[in-house]
Structure 1
Amino acid sequence: MSGAVPTVAVDGELQKLLDEALARHGVVGASLAVLRDGKVAAAASGMLNVDSGVRVRPESPFQIGSISKLFTATLAMQLVEEGRLDLDAPVRRYLPDFALADAAAASRITTRQLLNHSSGMEGDFFPQDDPWGASADSYVRKMALLPQLHDVGAYMCYCNSGFVLAGRVIEVLAGKPWQQLVMERICTPLGMRQAFADPREALRYLSAVGHMADPASPSRLSVSPLTYLPLSMAAAGSVLSMSAADLLRFVAAHLRGGVSEAGRRVLSEASTAAMRASQMRLPALRAGFDRMGLGWFIGKLADEEIVGHDGACAGQFAYTLSVPRHDFAYALLTNSPSAAMADELRSTLLRPIGVTAQDPPPQPPPDWTPLRYVGTYENLAARLLIAGRPGGLALKIVPRQPGLVQHQQAELVPHSPDCFDILSDNPMLQGRVTFVGETDGRAQFAAVGVRMARRVS
């Protein structure tokens, strides 16, 4: 990719596309930026806040949620280049007091396993910030009783706690808070002028707020009662905010091999390639993604390599995807549930470069037994109840942490061996359930998307 500085302009065709998609899917507000042929086109539509009625502008920052993990992985690779971090050394080399309920696991886990989600730790650990202030150090100390979900390195299982731990390693080695490091080492050098990592900075910008279904009227969207997830989880994705064009500047720097649009290097070409190299297989094909790199999801669509990541945080939802061979990428930021709109826009945006955004057709096994799958599976966030039904399975999700997940039900239809499509009217419950591991002919884990639960009965 060339080092030329791409121009950013509101594009009429892109604006029409976003306006129509927003109206069709009932999304409150969105900002979209697309990189193609060395130029960035932008569009914005809808409202930042349904109560104030303020309109979204292309420069409006949104929370990017778990896409922040890409920034954490980039910081880690910077420290690797500086000779301060060995990805394959135990985390305890840098945090001697790091502890988990499983002492043996705590002694073995490496930073690489944190960045590729294979540590085996329970991932959806959301302790409240301390009343005297949020810190990753305090979060990590609270992990002392955190159990293992699976053996270290055995599977890829999405792990928020692992990225907070990686963020703390980075803080200790660099001697500064993650929020300061991400601005000094990434956002400022890349010219990301509408980005901030401290929520107190939000008043400087016309920032989006999240929206969720109103409990009293599910068809109505209202401002999310939660503004941010615990701030101690910043390295996993609880606070970093930016415009769609700024997020695209970060993604484009990775496509260039670690160089900003003005020619400033933030990471070596070797390190950006290492981040996109396959580390672990996903439990199931996920929107074309089937492998995990260091932070990045990796896959293929129409034989083209794709890399990307999604994010969700307090009623805001973010999406980015790139096709390296075509120097193509986009960033979509929204402030209400938007999965269906994101899928539609993904297909539309990829079509001009000849990439079809479709998963392979189902290949259900000719014979399968419900007994292999039926049972109860648990992780910290939820209990999954799997029952048999004619032609498939039934899924019921029961929350174990109030406010983290909702009671949900769906039908499961065979897609391929040990993999079932989710049939649900709930836009927050889509995708597939995959069963992995086996003991006495029974699956040991159920993965909803990339989050796993262990069989308990």
Structure 2
Amino acid sequence: MLRTSLAAICLALIPNIPASVPASVDAYVEQYRAATGLPGVAVAITKGSRVIHATGYGQTATGEPVTADSPMAVASVSKSFTAMAVMQLAEKGKVALDQPVRLYLPEFTMADPRAAKVTVRQLLNQTSGMADSTFREKSLPQPETLQGAVARLRTAKLATDPGTAFSYHNTNYQVAARLVEVVSGQPFAAYLGAHVFEPLGMRHSTTVNTDRDLPGSARGHLYVLGQAVALPEPAGFGNGSGGVLSTANDMARWLIAQNTGLPGLLSPQAVREMRTPSKPNDEYALGWEIGKTERGTPVLEHGGDLFTSTAHQLLMPDSGYGIAVMANTGLVFSDAHALMTGIAAIIEGGTPQPPSGSSTLLTDVLFALLTLVTIGLAVRGVARARRWAGRRTGWQLWRLAPYLVPITLCATIAPIHRMLAHGRDAAWIQLAYLYPTFMVWLVTAAAAGLTVVAARLWGAARLRRQ
């Protein structure tokens, strides 16, 4: 109560900041958590050079309370940090944004002569020509380092000519982060620590390479049957594109720096350049997206999704507000984005949409029931295998073919997903995180089908021996 009262008094002294914002945000976040089952979330809200609210709610995947100093994954929000690191090098004259990447990073080679023309700016605004359709970054074996992330491009080709089309592709930012390493002579984590985190007072922030580097506080959950289930993040590499870990307090410092022009870190001209979109996509700049709130307020933002956590940051340049949200649930529900939308509505004087429960609960229940039915049918099929074999011999064994459909679908689900997702890549295990109950049913159906086929063939073989 004392902390809340002091916060209200301080906020009342700040012009144009409603003292009710923190209380309204607290009530909204708790209402959201109660409706959705979201285990834990951290929120930072700033205005100009002041922190309005920075706190945590709920628990981490390891059962610890989420606080304003709990390091959590910010996923692709990391791209804003990588872009800033590159811009700092550009300000020092060590990199020119419109020069080829290979001029500074000779190891950047691809099985495509057009790669020699890819510029530094095209990496940052995602118009390099690299895309999931020609380089399956998620389903390929994952690298361990930024150097390895660049090395595996040697057999890849571009999807389009550089600078002609936008394609959101994480490898762009992994190459950019490796460029920072080579040009600065420092590991990427050390560079961010010395030139971004330390100057801003972001004492609990860092960047990591792979899922194995995530601390307990940054691990997350999947929603299954309406319940949040703590699970490890699938294997993946994210440094440069999605490896930053930060806290509500640290993200507040980042938002303040962004809304006050990044004094001492970048010049006003460089800040404007970072926020200028490309011709192929007028909504994506250098590590920032350009958009509007539901009420039409212009914003700069960027979201981030891991398979077990999400994050979102948003700046309102006209009013000086900044918001950051980090939630420990996966990308299917995008809890961080939903909370961000609601908090922005509160700041704008509106009322956020009331949160609802899991939108996939009915689907999950149906697939759970289908899994049980599939198991029951498999048991029945095995029990009656000899009787079935006695009625069907020789060419009639082709009737077993439909039982092999699930295993065929299991084996081809990744390329089918790529086709349905317009080329977006995903590994098989990642699909299990995206569609858990469907994949459980599919694997069960595949195992059931194989078991029934094996039992019936064995029954037929025994009859022939008699």
Judge same fold: TM > 0.5, yes or no: yes
Amino acid at match of 1:269: P
Is residue 54 from structure 1 mapped to residue 64 from structure 2 by the alignment? yes
Is residue 328 from structure 1 mapped to residue 333 from structure 2 by the alignment? no
CA separation in 2, counterparts of 1:152 and 1:228? 30
| Residue 284 of structure 2, aligned match among 251, 273, 292 | 292
Change (3 A) 1:406 1:384: farther
Q: Tell me if structure 2 keeps the 8 A contact 1:380–1:401.
A: no
Displacement of 1:379 after TM fit? 11
Q: Helix, strand or coil: the match of 1:235?
A: coil
Q: Tell me if structure 2 keeps the 8 A contact 1:396–1:407.
A: no
Displacement of 1:354 after TM fit? 5.7
State the match for 1:235 in structure 2: 240
Larger gyration radius, structure 1 or structure 2: 2
State the match for 2:270 in structure 1: 271
Displacement of 1:330 after TM fit? 0.4
Give the stretch that moved more between structures: 118-127 or 184-193. Answer: 118-127
CA separation in 2, counterparts of 1:220 and 1:205? 23
Is residue 77 from structure 1 mapped to residue 84 from structure 2 by the alignment? no
CA separation in 1, counterparts of 2:137 and 2:176? 15
Q: Tell me if structure 2 keeps the 8 A contact 1:18–1:32.
A: no
| Residue 138 of structure 1, aligned match among 148, 157, 167 | 148
State the match for 2:175 in structure 1: 165
* Number of residue equivalences: 350
| Residue 418 of structure 2, aligned match among 374, 377, 383 | 383
State the match for 1:25 in structure 2: 36
Change (3 A) 1:348 1:65: closer
CA separation in 2, counterparts of 1:12 and 1:39? 14
State the match for 1:152 in structure 2: 162
CA separation in 1, counterparts of 2:424 and 2:278? 32
Is residue 316 from structure 1 mapped to residue 309 from structure 2 by the alignment? yes
CA separation in 2, counterparts of 1:163 and 1:323? 25
Q: Which runs of 4+ in 1 moved over 6 A?
A: 202-206, 355-358, 378-381, 395-399
CA separation in 2, counterparts of 1:379 and 1:292? 28
Measured on the aligned residues, the alpha-carbon RMSD in Å equals 3.5
CA separation in 1, counterparts of 2:188 and 2:78? 11
Amino acid at match of 2:82: T
CA separation in 1, counterparts of 2:286 and 2:177? 14
Provide TM-score, normalisation by structure 2.
0.67
Displacement of 1:235 after TM fit? 0.7
Give the stretch that moved more between structures: 309-318 or 342-351. Answer: 342-351
Displacement of 1:399 after TM fit? 6.6
CA separation in 2, counterparts of 1:308 and 1:98? 29
The structure, 1 or 2, with the larger RCO (C-alpha pairs under 8 Å, 6+ apart) is 2
CA separation in 1, counterparts of 2:414 and 2:101? 23
Show structure 1 runs of 5+ residues with no match.
Answer: 260-264, 283-289, 359-377, 386-394, 410-424, 426-457
Amino acid at match of 1:106: A
Change (3 A) 1:408 1:16: closer
Displacement of 1:356 after TM fit? 9.8
Is residue 63 from structure 1 mapped to residue 73 from structure 2 by the alignment? yes
Q: Helix, strand or coil: the match of 2:196?
A: helix
What per-residue deviation string (whole Å, max 9, x for no partner) do you get for residues 347-400 of structure 1? Answer: 443343368999xxxxxxxxxxxxxxxxxxx99894224xxxxxxxxx899976
Provide TM-score, normalisation by structure 1.
0.68
Larger fraction in strand: 1
Amino acid at match of 2:248: A
Displacement of 1:281 after TM fit? 4.8
Q: Tell me if structure 2 keeps the 8 A contact 1:34–1:248.
A: yes
Q: Tell me if structure 2 keeps the 8 A contact 1:14–1:43.
A: no
Aligned pairs for 1:303-452 within 5 A: 303-337=296-330, 338-339=333-334, 342-353=337-348, 382-385=417-420, 401-405=427-431
Larger fraction in helix: 2
State the match for 1:109 in structure 2: 118
Q: Helix, strand or coil: the match of 2:429?
A: coil
Displacement of 1:226 after TM fit? 2.4
Q: Tell me if structure 2 keeps the 8 A contact 1:347–1:356.
A: yes
- Quote the sequence identity (%): 27
Q: Helix, strand or coil: the match of 1:234?
A: coil
Give the stretch that moved more between structures: 148-157 or 161-170. Answer: 148-157
CA separation in 1, counterparts of 2:288 and 2:220? 25
CA separation in 2, counterparts of 1:311 and 1:332? 10
Is residue 253 from structure 1 mapped to residue 245 from structure 2 by the alignment? no
